[in-house]
Amino acid sequence: MVPALRPGDQCLVRWGARAQSGRLVVAEHPQRAGVLIVKRAVRRERGGWWLASDNPYAGGDSKTFGVVPEELVLGRVLLRYWPPRRRTRADR
């Protein structure tokens, strides 16, 4: 799977929107308070959401830190708006 986002991309986020399977979300890292991460919500599990990286070589995801509590999932990515030549919906 090709990553939906690249370093430096800027996105429109709907803060407070509920996670949905298959959609990109913004969450607070469960082991590093105050650090925000963008991951794909894979499935809801007991205790929260299983989040995955589109790029298997980039950073950690639920394979590293486990299920992310619902209260740490802060919003849903709606679209990437910068750079303009790559403007697309983020839920592809």
Work out the average pLDDT over 53-79: 91
How high does pLDDT run on average in the chain?
A: 88
Domain contains 3: no
Is 5 a residue whose pLDDT tops 80?
Answer: yes
Residue 37 CA: distances (Å) to CA of 29, 30, 41, 56, 84: 6, 10, 12, 15, 22
Q: Judge whether 5 and 38 are in contact, CB under 8 Å.
A: yes
Domain contains 1: no
Domain contains 5: no
Per the structure, the complete domain to which residue 35 belongs is given by 10-89
Say how far apart CA 38 and CA 40 lie, in whole Å. Answer: 7
Domain contains 56: yes
Is 83 a residue whose pLDDT tops 90?
Answer: no
- What pLDDT does 85 receive? 66
How confident is residue 3, by pLDDT bands cut at 50, 70 and 90? confident
Domain contains 28: yes
Contact partners, residue 64, CB within 8 Å, separation at least 6: none
Q: How many domains does the chain have?
A: 1
Instruction: Provide the CATH number for the domain around residue 67.
Output: 2.10.109.10
